[in-house]
Amino acid sequence: MSTVTTLTYDVFVSDPPQKADAPLLPNGERKGGSPVASTLISGAEDAVLTDPAFTSDQAQALGDWVAGKDRNVTEIFVTHGHGDHWFAAGVLAERFGARVVATEGSIAQMHANVAARPFLWDKAYAGLIPPAPVTAVTVPDNRLTLEGHDLVIVEVGHSDTDDTTVLHVPDLDLVVSGDVIYNGAHLYLGESVLVGGLDPWRRAIDKVAALEPRHIVCGHQNRELDDDADRTIAETRQYLDEADELFRTEPTAVAFFNAMIELYPNHLARTVLWASANALYGVRDNPDGDVREIILAGWL
């Protein structure tokens, strides 16, 4: 007799680190970051963790929360290469004896994010991020198995960076969306300047919608909001459309920043909005500039 276990999922949101001496945004707020959501998908004994955030403090708090769930963590899945989603993966993999999993494309992006640490991450978040060698491995057929249930890695291409993926759990009607779908936090639009605009992201959203999930755990979210798939998909599409429109009509990065805050007064992560504005307007206004340098400078 075999027993069929039922999966469950729980979400832990790590607040962004806040440095008392961080530079200011145009509205006078201190720069910070965006909340990062980690999902623990659990069977009766085993569990898979996603996107384990990036600072040593976050690794400690998230790890304690995971330990409280009393499961054997087999894998830590990383949806994409942005360091804020995975620089803590090694610390947690060691604590729980888990392996880190990502696609080949995401692993290449992870290496690029490690290379950018001295110019970006370790400048904006000096002293907060642990050593983070890339230890992720791929899995056959982009598929994990948790007590007989499939967890399917779906490659959706460029969303807020290249080579992004989501984790589809059909038996939970769940998609863990990484940065493809957002929920109550400003979208990072900066890397759209590398791919000719926001249409690749729209196509990535279409791929998530085609999975027809009921629930979406967004990588960046306001923990007060629910995980309704239809709402978060519609709101992410709408944000892209409104950003496109305001980029056409607002003359400067500051005007764009202010107009977006007026449209989204409750959205978290205005630091991300400012980085987006700097990249969009920086590239438009400096056609001969180094695009990657302009994108990086937008964060600092």
Which residue, 108 or 255, has its beta carbon nearer to Zn ion? 108
Part in contact with Zn ion (CB under 5 A); list of ranges 113-121, 135-143, 175-183, 263-271: 175-183
Which residue, 44 or 115, has its beta carbon nearer to Zn ion? 115
For every residue of 227-272, DSSP letters joined together read: -BHHHHHHHHHHHHHHHHHHHHH--SHHHHHHHHHHH-TT-B-HHH
Part in contact with Zn ion (CB under 5 A); list of ranges 99-107, 117-125, 141-149, 171-179: 171-179
- Provide the terminal-to-terminal Cα distance of the chain, rounded to the nearest Å: 59
Minimum CB separation of residue 243 from Zn ion in Å reads 16
For every residue of 37-51, DSSP letters joined together read: EEEEEE-SSEEEEE-
Q: Return the H-helix or E-strand segment holding 181.
A: none
Return d(Cα 171, Cα 89) in angstroms, integer.
26
Minimum CB separation of residue 80 from Zn ion in Å reads 7
Minimum CB separation of residue 83 from Zn ion in Å reads 9
- Indicate whether 179 belongs to the interface with Zn ion (CB under 5 A): yes
Which residue, 71 or 274, has its beta carbon nearer to Zn ion? 274
Minimum CB separation of residue 186 from Zn ion in Å reads 11
Minimum CB separation of residue 51 from Zn ion in Å reads 8
Tokens at 250, concatenated: 């607002």
Which residue, 74 or 103, has its beta carbon nearer to Zn ion? 103
Minimum CB separation of residue 145 from Zn ion in Å reads 27
- Indicate whether 163 belongs to the interface with Zn ion (CB under 5 A): no
Return d(Cα 174, Cα 171) in angstroms, integer.
8
Which residue, 153 or 185, has its beta carbon nearer to Zn ion? 185
DSSP annotation of 225 reads S
Per-residue binding string, Zn ion, 122-141, x by CB under 5 A, is --------------------
Minimum CB separation of residue 4 from Zn ion in Å reads 35
Return d(Cα 100, Cα 50) in angstroms, integer.
9
What count of residues does the chain have? 300
Of residues 65-104, which lie at the interface with Zn ion (CB under 5 A)?
A: 82
Instruction: Specify the 3-state DSSP secondary structure of 74.
Output: strand
User: What are the CA-CA distances from residue 39 to residues 5, 107, 128, 193, 212 (Å)?
Assistant: 19, 20, 22, 30, 19
Q: Residues touching Zn ion: how many (CB under 5 A)? A: 2
Which residue, 51 or 250, has its beta carbon nearer to Zn ion? 51
Residue ranges in contact with Zn ion by CB under 5 A: 82, 179
